[in-house]
Amino acid sequence: MSKNIGFVSTRFSGTDGVTMEASKWAEVLEKSGYNCFWFAGDLDREPEKSYSVPEAHFLFEQNQWINLKIIGQKERTPLVTQMIHDLRSLLKIKLHEFIKQFDINILIAENVLSIPMHVPLGLALTETIAETQIKTIAHHHDFYWERVRFSINAANDYLRMSFPPNLPNIQHVVINSDAREQLAHRTGIASVIIPNVLDFENPPKTNVKDANVFLKSIGLSPDDRMILQPTRIVQRKGIEYAVELLKELNDPRNKLVISHEAGDEGYEYMEWLKEYALEHNVDLKLVTTQIADPLCGNGSKTAPYTLWDVYPFADFITYPSLYEGFGNAFLEAIYFKKPMLINRYATFVRDIEPQGFDLAVMDGFLSKKTVQVVKEILNCPNRRKAMIDTNYRIALNNYSYSVLRNRFNAIMTNFFGDTPNHIYDKTEYPNRDTLWDTTPPNPLYQHVDPEDFRPELQ
């Protein structure tokens, strides 16, 4: 009997890292016969599988007021406490209704129990999990102690309770080694690492027509070179280094395109960035049309393009982030066989770099040597081909959907014992259920040879 899984967060919409990683998990689970449903304040999923609660969005007016009163503050008034609990009570009712309406067997909390963008929702979800004893996977992308803006707050009692909660029916999942160690050190909570993944077993299919239309929509001609910064416009992405790179390359064909939106952390950095590019004579193009998550089938079809329409014509990827929990854009660039410049942020140095990827790298500053490496990559097709082929092979072995299947199987065994709830692709193995009784209870992909899935590299 297939199980119903409920994803919970403040939003599942657009192309932020949490939304896209949740889409990947859902894709793997649904191909294995599970049913996935969605609870959030902002949703672009199928309506019949969605439970939209505007009060759950971190931009909901009451929640924004609460954040102003508790983040960067040392004291909390009784009125603020009452507002938190009023919203918590409402959201808890909605969560119970969601679980009942879709007969949810397992909850997956996507970052909503990790970073306190919405304290009432975190409290409501913690109480719901405790009251129902529902099996829950808390998928943590980044914690509040990793963000300077949460270092002073008037809600430490709530943070200790729910960000994250320590309950026996929760399996905690993190995306890097440092997060696992810090979580254990600060809270005593054990966790497993599931890195960000992509379907490297199946190379991307590009809609050339849509990609061409997108290229024209942002004002690029066939002679231009798209240097793509595929991230949100927030300060920790270090986009000023991409501007500096184009200045040093000093080629009028190069156009810096930023694919994602600003707004999660304000617009001041975006305005500064536009001035900075102008001062350095860099042609900066911000994508102003809505870009959808390609992994959920473009949700409600309201966006004219998906992220997969942006990557195909990129000539080079810049990824000079100062900090990342993992780095979705890193995997996406490799998936689309694009060369890239990367800043050696901590998680990259510790968890990713040892795999042996071939990249142009910087270490906190843009050196002349790094600029020269980028020039060689842009001007030498053979060098570029060798780079992207090597990187795809490494990613296939370490960050493909088979990795997610394996680790999910271990969690399901921990939850339900050695029963036929294991994750495998039913589209590839339609008769696997009938063979279960005569097959050893190991996850299907546990000892798979990556060569079996290796795609043709172009």
* 453 belongs to a structural domain: no
- In terms of residue numbers, what domain contains 340? 208-398
The verdict on 186 and 213 lying in the same domain is: no
Of the residues 379, 398, 417, the one at which a domain ends: 398
* 47 belongs to a structural domain: yes
* 404 belongs to a structural domain: no
pTM: 0.83
pLDDT band at 100 (very low <50, low <70, confident <90, very high): very high
The verdict on 182 and 133 lying in the same domain is: yes
| Mean pLDDT in residue range 252-279 | 86
* 354 belongs to a structural domain: yes
The verdict on 176 and 247 lying in the same domain is: no
pLDDT tens by residue, 122-137: 999 999 999 999 999 9
> Which residues, other chains included, contact 239 with Cβ-Cβ below 8 Å and sequence gap of 6+?
229, 231, 233, 258, 273, 318, 320
pLDDT tens by residue, 157-173: 999 999 999 999 999 99
We report the CATH number of the domain holding residue 254 as 3.40.50.2000
* 308 belongs to a structural domain: yes
The verdict on 213 and 270 lying in the same domain is: yes
Residue 37, strand partner residues: 6
Tell me how far CA of residue 335 lies from CA of 297, 377, 445, 455, in angstroms. Answer: 18, 18, 21, 11
* 203 belongs to a structural domain: no
- What is the count of structural domains for the chain? 2
pLDDT band at 418 (very low <50, low <70, confident <90, very high): low
Q: For 17-40, give the DSSP string.
A: HHHHHHHHHHHHHHHTT-EEEEEE
pLDDT band at 426 (very low <50, low <70, confident <90, very high): low
The verdict on 236 and 312 lying in the same domain is: yes
* 362 belongs to a structural domain: yes
The verdict on 172 and 311 lying in the same domain is: no
